[in-house]
Amino acid sequence: MPRTTQKTSAPTRGGMTAAEPAEIQRLVEDLDGMLSRLRLGAIREQLDGLLEEAARRQLNLREALAWLCAAEVASKEQRRLSMALTIAHFPFVRTLEGFEFEAQPSIDPGKIRDLGTCRWVANGDNVVLLGPPGVGKTHLEVALGREAVARGYTAQFTTAMELIGALVKAQQQGTLEMRLAQYAKPKLLIIDELGYLPLEPEAGHLFFQLISRRYEQGSVLISSNRPVDEWDEVFGDQVVAAAILDRLLHHSHVVTIRGDSYRLREKRRSGLFRPQAGGSSSAGIGGVAPPIPAEEV
């Protein structure tokens, strides 16, 4: 049954009733209020301009209605996007368009562009980015994360250290369940910089709990400077590492980046650093990284 809260002879299903001009006038006066009640804030705020433009373009009623709706939809989408980006906590703005593939020949641009469609997020698959410092892992994480947000998925960016710190603290405070639920919630969880510091076995176990909580529910995008066969050392426990990798890699795309630090390219060109022996592709993961000025790491 339709709700019959209207006080006036407003348009009905059968067509416009022969409303008195005074009644129409009352409706017009209530227009702001009605737009607010319907949460059509963009139409309310831009009404004069939108109507003027519609008149200038000589739109008919249906076209004008579509024109107004499009303004509302665009504004709502913009708000959703900016809120989702705030919640995601990306450390900086990076995009796929801003990634120079020529600078990193070990990356297949087709594969990254395919990941950019976010089908893997829709499927709940994981992505593992491996490579030495400065090769663009965080750049790609942020860029792929923004693509996911633009497509309407929820995302959250964190570093492995921040994540594990939060889980350890939550366990001490008896709020682990709540924290795990919080990290399980976004459709895409991005975990940056696993492996820069080895973890206590207890921390590894907490990390396992999170990964198994998200398993086949939501996607994880994780980056590490250590190859997966060194993750025993990262987690300080072979069994825990195997259990984490088992779930993480089950439905996953692994991107291994071999090459020179993008940060150091210019410096290397200017002769500050010597080129790595054997050319750029020989620097495997976990290989000896060139000296990196502390402020740039």
Question: Using CB under 6 A, which of 94, 187, 214, 247 touches ligand ADP?
Answer: 94
Nearer to ligand ADP, 240 or 285 (CB): 285
From 26-34, 131-139, 154-162, 202-210, span contacting ligand ADP (CB under 6 A): 131-139
Which neighbouring-strand residues pair with 78? none
Facing residues of 219 across strands?
Answer: 188
CB of 138 vs ligand ADP, minimal distance in Å: 3
The yes or no reply on residue 135 touching ligand ADP (CB under 6 A) is yes
The one-letter amino acid code at 115 reads L
Closest residue to Mg ion: CB criterion: 138
Stretch that binds Mg ion, among 41-49, 53-61, 120-128, 136-144 (CB under 5 A): 136-144
Minimum distance from residue 129 beta carbon to ligand ADP (Å): 8
* Residue 138 touches Mg ion, criterion: CB under 5 A: yes
Among 116, 133, 145, 204, which residue interacts with ligand ADP (rule: CB under 6 A)? 133
H/E element, 126? strand 126-130
Q: If you write DSSP's letter for every residue of 190-241 in order, what string do you get?
A: EEEEETSS---HHHHHHHHHHHHHHTTTSEEEEEESS-GGGHHHHHT-HHHH
Contacts of 57 (CB under 8 A, 6+ apart): 67
Asked if 20 contacts 26 with a C-beta cutoff of 8 angstroms, the reply is no
| DSSP structure class, residue 96 | S
Grouping H, G, I as helix, E, B as strand and the rest as coil, residue 190 is strand
Could you say whether residue 100 binds ligand ADP (CB under 6 A)?
Answer: yes
| 170: three-class secondary structure by DSSP | helix
Task: List contacts with Mg ion (CB under 5 A).
Answer: 137-138
- The residues of the shown chain that bind ligand ADP, judged by CB under 6 A, are 94, 98-100, 103-104, 131, 133-139, 262-263
